[in-house]
Structure 1
Amino acid sequence: MGGLQGNAAALGTSIPADTPHAISVSLPTWKDNVGYEEGEKRVVDSMVNGYPRFFIHLSIRKLASICEQKHAVGNEQAMLFPTKRIAEQCREFMRDRAGVTARLVALLICPDETVDKESIGGACADLHIVLYPADKFPVAKEFWQHTGLGISSRLAEKCLSLLSDESKAPPTPTVTSNRYSKGGFTKHYAAKKPSPTPQPVAREDGEEDSTLYLEERYGRNLPLTAAMFAKRALRRRLAGVLLCDSVPECQEVAGKEELVVGPSTRGVQEVSENDVFLYPTGMSAIWSAHQLALKALKPAKSICFGFPYTDTLKILQKWGPGCHFLGNGLDSDIDELERILEQEPILALFTEFPSNPLLRSANLPRLRALADKYGFVIVIDETIGNFKNVKVIQYADIVASSLTKVFSGASNVMGGGMILNPQSRHYAALKAVQDEVFEDVYFDEDALYMERNSRDFKQRIDIIGSNTQAVCDSLRSRSLAGSFPNAVIKEVWYPKFTTAEHYEHCRIKSSSSEDGKPGGYGGLFSLTFTSDEASKAFFDTLPCFKGPSLGTNFTLACPFTILAHYGELEWAAQFGVEAGLVRVSVGMENVDTLLQAFNVAVEAAEAAEADHA
């Protein structure tokens, strides 16, 4: 990749531009981010996209509106899910949290009889609708956001394409408040004109890519087996058993049943594709891990260890008996954990390695020893570290990750993964329940995008990691932590500098890596500044895309605490997550270009600090 994108993306537009299912949105200034949180009309009216668990995609809204026109009674609104079980879980959540009575409707949307139903383009679509009083939308949105189990925007577009132009909705099925009725319909429509032959896409380096992008094939029929192969390839890739994953010729057969696979390279050789489960989002993997523990073991409070991404804590607080929050994630918190364990049983401990946004790494061997002693489950979210850089599964009973981030990199598809550790003392119980309750709700087209995006994730991670280390070394040399006089940067939060001994313990050394390269420190870091003025000047001046998410192939920055904790800034500050914190996800741009860009932003912060003084 070449240079940075500057601040070219207009407020509210998709990142990347012209990407119908982009997972980030441009909020280019500090003021824009505050305006978004405060619901400022200027910002809200500009939004054509957003992070999918927070911003309901316009295609999903359109489909929900059609469903409301046909099925709502009074002022009811609709929220859409892919299966009956998830819709029932939403209804149960709304009842338990707010005493809301919701109705459920199920629809089977099928194409015309002339369409090949063995293809993805011709397959029927299941749609499950939760209808609730309009003033209870915030409660329904909680379920949508925390669980990440709402329908995919690609599934919404498929449903819209199957609905007839005349009715835009199926006949009304019979529904009651207590029964989940099923209605079906068949669409009749004129034959489509044949799609034009897609042309090869030019790469940034000028070379043509003869492999057709899935985006170009969207709307054309793909065999259902393509999705099956893609999902199997993804499970194998996550399990670390693909012996040929770095060989281009292997990519097209990675999901074939007869492909020879090897022992896992993750650190527990027994891990297989059968221990890996795919989810529509990273948060749905976290939510499902908690649900699995509640079902497989005796329910009890959990532990949230370290300051996590916001929804992880909300999940532990709102489902089951609740949780204890040890928000610093330091060894002193493990001392407190031991006191808790002496007084009450614990179901599970959830921790990120490293954490988001402070990039702290927990003392996993010590936590594992306590789990073995007291019998609780450890769930490790490895999204930030990722298994190209660190090995953590040997300390976990369950590993979860957001595939949406660097595993995909393209910022155009969501996904999540959960892995059971076969060496866990709880494996038999967890696996038995998981095999019984697991539903494959990962939409087929999303799986196809994810599989294609992730084929080169190891190579991309190496480039991103090298870039990030160069940037962080430079920034730290100009920080108070680096003893730079009159610095405006207080701290560079990055695994190389933050709880480094715990990260190093799990970082992959060259002698144990597949390609002989040591693991890096990831592509994420955060900065704190000596004043709000410096924070704002740095962020506004930094010439890169600005928006939510991380792990993108391009550099992406956000004022994390403003976006994630605007209503609880003082609470977050107790754990070192300051209101002025800027989080940066470094991309694959030229390293010299990156260093120059960050230097410009630091100079702007220094000037703002001088003016303020």
Structure 2
Amino acid sequence: MSNITTTLGAAVPPFTPHAISVSLPTWEDNVGYEQGDKRVVDVMVSGYPRFFIALNIQRLARICEKKFGLNGERCLLVPTRLIANQCRTFMVERSSKEGSPVPVRLVQFVICPEDNDLEGTCAELHVVLFPADAFPLAKQFWQHTGLGITSRLADRCLSMIPEASKPSSPSPSRAPPSKASNRHYSAKNSRTSLPPSPPEDSSTADTFGSDLKTYVEERYGRNLPLEAAAAGKRAMRRRIAGVLLRDSPSDWSIAGGRDAKLGPSTRGIKEVTEDDVFLYPTGMSTVWSAHQLALATRPLAKSVCFGFPYTDTLKILEKWGPGCHFFGNGTDEDLDKLERMLEEESQKDPSKPPILALFTEFPSNPLLRCADMSRLHKLADKYDFLIVVDETIGNFVNVEVLPYADVVVSSLSKVFSGDSNVMGGSLVLNPKGRHYLELKSHMINFYEDSYYAEDAIYMERNSRDFRRRIKVIDGNTEAVCDFLHSHSLMSTNTNPATLPPNSRFVIKEVFYPKYTTAEHFNRCRTEGGGYGGLFSLIFTTSIAAREFFNALPCNKGPSLGTNFTLACPYTILGHYAELDWAARYGVEESLVRVSVGMEDKHLLLQGFVKALHAAEQQ
């Protein structure tokens, strides 16, 4: 496995501007991160963007606080007025429940180059200001919604602010070296080009300059020019809708063109078009927006979270609207309980649906469980509620879940991108859904495209060969999981409680759709589709989990769906403050989650043999 970084706090992958993962190479590093250990947090130059506010965004925020803040106020930066108002509403409503409402001010900040004769080069920021002690509340909005500004937008803004070129006192978070205003934004240029990315550190500084970097990206077929962002977004929407009859890396230039060859959708619903696909800046913003869509169009009621989800999905359903019912195991037994609950609630008030919407992942993260979608769909028809499915882990090359859903969401930051250098998300409406007309009408009237153009350019480039990459990743993952499954207690049907002290088995269970609720996964599996690139392991002891993780020769950090193998101690990172609660649903402290990449299959297997041997020697 090549291109691995073992440097704590470095970008993952290494030397990648705008990387969305960070190296936490040991179990102890992950615990230290959760505990706020200065040994860990003070060396981090990167991180998952919804949890770690990028250093250049922090720097831009400090400039805005100095420029607009009063009495030590802090701020959050968002790209549009609508999002700023949504942030303010969240902060005021949440703080009111705790006591008195927090005062929140909004400022619009339009940033233009010093020579502002060139049209279209100004950037717009919306600054949400609040008392410094309210920052943790503001950070909740940033994390749960994924609607804050991106590091590329921050780069562009900093390149046009004279204050940004002035030396500043060192930051405890190791801010990158400051740069002078970017000469891309001058009247002498005929078009807007890509601004430079901040270096990871002095050893990775851009020695060639942003002009040459942009020229290479655009001239040699890697990136569309920035002014073609609309065409890039259209190409992505067509890929996600499954309507492109010809789409390959060599045909990328016409994928977003008006004359592209389109046909019936391959998403399981032929009537899907690109107009049913909506792009967002992050995957989590699609979940949040789907919930907002439900709240705006359907009778008010609690939602249902079915199955143990990625952490922020549950937080969204709990913190916006009237709350949710949580069926955290996501098993058929939970489905029985759900059906009984729906019947009881409908009897209380037959005039309205018993729930607003049901949210589920297919399969779930991190336990890779799938719900019986056919049965859920029948319940939705009977009790008149929406079904929202997050297909990020399964991905639409492998599974067809749209026929069972009203709304399908996905994090494009994962395998659709693969390069771990840009965020994005998609929301797809099912034109055959019973509430389609109402949902589509609302989206037409109220959808706001806040996906930053330069991020869309990179996502378009990364996604051109996603179908080919998924096939490679599927094959690699199945080979690795078959090996680990054969060395687990699952292969012996042995009860861990009856194991002798010197037992060689250290893997308790392998969570992977081939073994986990396989009948439900296979019902939605596409012809020729695989089982995806994600799996999780639970070990017989926490020591075995630690030794396995530390010995595994791959990149270690948050995120998944990368072209390279990436592992993390998921429960430590996702639920460190609620370990006992997570364990109640089978998400044990010893859980290690692995996203398999495109490395040579033989070398991959060698790496997992090495890690397993280390765990067995503990």
Query: Would the TM-score normalized by the shorter structure come out above 0.5?
Result: yes
Give per-residue Cα distances to partners, 1:362-411, cap 9 Å, x unaligned: 10000000000000000000000000101010000000000000000000
What secondary structure sits across from 1:481 in the alignment?
A: helix
C-alpha separation between the residues in 2 aligned to 1:330 and 1:72? 50
Please, which of 436, 457, 470 is the counterpart of residue 466 of structure 2? 457
User: Is the Cα–Cα contact under 8 Å of residues 155 and 443 in structure 1 kept in the other structure?
Assistant: yes
Does structure 1 residue 496 correspond to structure 2 residue 493?
A: no
Q: 1:567 aligned to 2:585? A: no
- Give the deviation of 1:249 after TM superposition: 3.6
Q: Which residue does the alignment assign to 2:124?
A: 126
Of stretches 334-343 and 312-321 in structure 1, the one that deviates more from structure 2 is 334-343
Paired AA for residue 525 in structure 1: F
Structure 1 residues 312 and 166: alpha-carbon distance in aligned structure 2, compared to 1, 3 A threshold: closer
The amino acid that maps onto 2:263 is G
Going from structure 1 to structure 2, the CA distance change for 1:198 and 1:294 (only over 3 Å counts) comes to: closer
Specify the alignment match of 1:181 in structure 2.
none
* Aligned residue number for residue 391 of structure 2: 382
Q: Conserved in 1, the CA contact under 8 Å of 2:555 and 2:565?
A: yes
Contact 2:246–2:261 at 8 Å: present in 1 too?
no
Q: Distance in 1 between matches of 2:107 and 2:34?
A: 33
- Structure 1 residue aligned with 2:609: 599
Distance 1:551 1:167, change over 3 A: closer
CA contact (8 A) 2:226 2:453 kept: no
- Residue 107 of structure 1 aligns to which amino acid in structure 2? F
Does the CA contact (< 8 Å) of 2:418 and 2:462 recur in 1? yes
Matched, 1:349 2:358: yes
User: Partners of 1:393 and 1:115 in 2: how far apart?
Assistant: 48
Alignment of 1:198-597 (within 5 A): 211-214=220-223, 222=225, 224=227, 226-246=228-248, 248-344=249-345, 345-483=354-492, 486-509=504-527, 518-597=528-607
Deviations 1:151-209 (A, max 9, x none): 011011111111125898xxxxxxxxxxxxxxxxxx9979799966459989xxxxxx9
Whichever residue aligns with residue 237 of structure 2, its letter is R
1:108 matched residue in structure 2: 110
Are 2:117 and 2:187, in contact at CA under 8 Å, matched by a contact in 1?
no
Instruction: Return the offset for 1:19.
Output: 1.3
Pair 532,223 (structure 1): closer, same or farther in 2 beyond 3 Å:
closer
Q: Matched residues in 1 for 2:214 and 2:435: separation?
A: 51
Distance 1:438 1:262 in 2: 25
Retained in 2: the 8 A contact 1:528–1:580?
Answer: yes
What is the identity, as a one-letter code, of the residue corresponding to 1:521? Y
Verify: 1:33 aligned to 2:30, yes or no: yes
Per-residue deviation at 1:293?
A: 0.5
Contact 1:86 1:149 in 2 (8 A): yes
Distance 2:185 2:229 in 1: 26
TM superposition shift of 1:57:
0.4
CA distance in 1, matches of 2:382, 2:553: 50
Q: Distance in 2 between matches of 1:48 and 1:348?
A: 39
Deviations 1:84-141 (A, max 9, x none): 11001101101111121110000111234566435xxxx2211000001111111000
User: Which residue identity does 1:161 align to in structure 2?
Assistant: S
Aligned counterparts of 2:561 and 2:296: Cα–Cα separation in 1: 32
- Normalised to the residue count of structure 2, the TM-score between the two structures is 0.88
The one-letter code matched in structure 1 to 2:122 is: C
Query: Deviation per CA, 1:409-446, whole angstroms, max 9, x where unpaired?
Result: 00000000000000001001111111111100000000
- Are residue 48 (structure 1) and residue 45 (structure 2) matched? yes
Shift of 1:39: 0.3
Shift of 1:486: 3.1
Instruction: Give the letter for the 1:274 counterpart.
Output: D
Letter in 1 for 2:58: R
The alignment partner of 2:617 has SS state of helix
Q: Give 1:514's aligned residue.
A: none
Match of 1:87 in 2: 84
Change (3 A) 1:322 1:37: same
Compared CA separation, residues 493 and 223, structure 1 to 2 (3 A): closer
After TM superposition, give the deviation of residue 245 of structure 1 in Å: 1.3
The verdict on how the C-alpha distance between 1:166 and 1:37 changes in structure 2, with shifts beyond 3 A counting, is closer
2:195 aligns with none
Matches of 1:411 and 1:166, distance apart in 2: 27
1:232 touches 1:273 (CA, 8 Å); kept in 2? yes
Amino acid at match of 1:476: H
C-alpha separation between the residues in 1 aligned to 2:548 and 2:240?
37
SS in 1 for 2:423: coil
Q: 1:342 offset after TM fit, Å?
A: 1.3
CA distance in 1, matches of 2:226, 2:164: 29
CA RMSD of aligned residues (A): 2.1
Q: Pick closer, same or farther for the CA change 1:68–1:195 going to 2, 3 Å.
A: closer
Structure 1 contact 308–355 (Cα < 8 Å) conserved: yes
Aligned to 1:14: 11
Q: Is the 8 A contact 1:493 1:526 kept in 2?
A: yes
Supply the distance in 1 between the matched residues of 2:285 and 2:128 (Cα, whole angstroms). 18
Aligned counterpart, 1:177: none
Number of corresponding residues? 561
Paired with 2:431 and 2:214, the residues of 1 have a C-alpha distance of: 46
Query: How far apart, CA to CA, are the structure 1 residues paired with 2:386 and 2:214?
Result: 51
For residue 591 of structure 1, report the CA deviation from its aligned partner: 0.4
Q: Which runs of 5+ in 1 are unaligned?
A: 169-186, 203-208, 510-517, 609-613
CA change 1:223–1:48 in 2 (3 A) is: closer
Give the deviation of 1:346 after TM superposition: 0.3
Tell me which amino acid in the other structure corresponds to 1:497.
Y
Per-residue deviation, 1:355: 0.2
Does the C-alpha gap of structure 1 residues 479 and 375 become closer, same or farther in structure 2, counting only changes over 3 Å? same
Amino acid at match of 1:519: G
Q: Percent identity?
A: 61
Deviations 1:298-344 (A, max 9, x none): 11100000000000000000000100000000111111111211122
Q: What SS class does the counterpart of residue 594 from structure 1 fall into?
A: helix
